Amino acid sequence: MDLMSTIKGSLLENFFPQGWDMEKLDKCCDNSPESVTERQDWWNKGFEPVPCETLSDFDTMMGHEIAIEIKRARDDGRKIAFILPVGPMGMYKWAVYFLKEWNVDCKHVYGFNMDEWSDKDGSTLPSDNTGAFQNAMEQAFYGPLGGMTIPKEQRHFATKEMLPTYPEKIGELKAEGAKLVVVFGIGRVFHIAFWEPHFAGEFSGEKEWKKQCYRLGAKLHPLTIEQNAVTSFKSRTTLVPCFANTIGPGLFLKADKIIGGCDGTLGRGMMWQGLSLWVTLRHGPNIWIPSSFMPTLAGKLFFLKELAGPLVADCN
């Protein structure tokens, strides 16, 4: 017995996104852990999955990757724009560490937060609220950089007023020669930012889907709510908003480089991101699985080695 053989007539029968092939998702996980980095035909030649032994390694390596991109842009005399997540977060302290060690001023950097909690009309939490992504970024990255930080006027957050300006501002920066780097995690339902899989049902096909730059008041999948209850709200589901403002594929697929991270282990052998990692690396591009497009871009995906499995039942 498994999900596929028992789902009919259950409470999950119409729960998962319509475009998911559950058997194909499961098959993506039916590989040996050692094979997780084996190149696939559809990967960008510049894409590289990077296994990390420990969470400390993960945070340090991902933070170094962010910092070195900022330094290289400074050394080259060019602007650089980052689309940034709140989750994962541990890499920011190391990005700050390296930038300070190298004495790299960040006046050439432009930051665009990829998402923010909202209500259904796109209104967001006050910026100083402890649950707001803007507050998290100020505390974890912009603030600790001190006098070397990104200028306030070059920090952008996914508010109802500011998110719609992202496409034009990022387009202008790229036209000036700026490099666009997208930093991201992968959701339980394979989202990038809060661009959820069920949005695919609204579009005629991949071409139209790829044009979508952002969404205000995006309706979140229940698994996304529970993922965040576990990872950000200490299991308190009642605190998690049901909507969010988010960038879409019209922005995150424009990256000149990606820096991804999967650190979703929970201890005692438990995890929430193993399926997400394997499907991202093995499924192939499909608009019902937003993260499946990320290996088509140049860059690195850092992941905790434990996530590669083996993903088998273990009730001990």
| Cα 121 to chain centroid, rounded | 23
CA dist., res. 109 & res. 63, Å (int): 15
pLDDT of residue 195: 98
pLDDT of residue 92: 98
CA dist., res. 298 & res. 284, Å (int): 16
Answer yes or no: are the C-beta atoms of 293 and 304 closer than 8 Å: no
pLDDT of residue 315: 67
| Closest C-alpha to 67, from 98, 109, 91, 41 | 98
Hey, which residues does 289 pair with through a beta bridge? 286
pTM metric for this prediction: 0.97
Q: Which residue has the tokens 């424009």?
A: 254
What are the tokens at 126? Answer: 């006050």
Q: Are strands 214-219 and 243-247 parallel, antiparallel or unpaired?
A: antiparallel
Q: Are strands 243-247 and 115-118 parallel, antiparallel or unpaired?
A: antiparallel
pLDDT of residue 37: 98
Answer yes or no: are the C-beta atoms of 258 and 217 closer than 8 Å: no
Mean pLDDT in consecutive groups of 10 residues from the start of the chain, 316 residues: 96 97 97 97 98 98 98 98 97 98 98 98 93 95 98 98 98 98 98 98 98 98 97 95 98 98 94 98 98 98 97 78
Q: Are strands 109-113 and 155-156 parallel, antiparallel or unpaired?
A: parallel
What are the tokens at 251? Answer: 């922005």
Q: 50-307 is classed in which CATH architecture?
A: 3-Layer(aba) Sandwich (3.40)
What are the tokens at 114? Answer: 């990829």
pLDDT of residue 316: 65
pLDDT of residue 111: 98
pLDDT of residue 63: 98
Instruction: Please state the domain extents for the chain.
Output: 50-307
Answer yes or no: are the C-beta atoms of 245 and 159 closer than 8 Å: yes
CA dist., res. 138 & res. 116, Å (int): 14
Three-state SS string over 30-72 comes to CCCHHHCCCCCCCCCCCEEEEEECCHHHHHHHHHHHHHHHHHH
pLDDT of residue 130: 87
Hey, which residues does 156 pair with through a beta bridge? 112
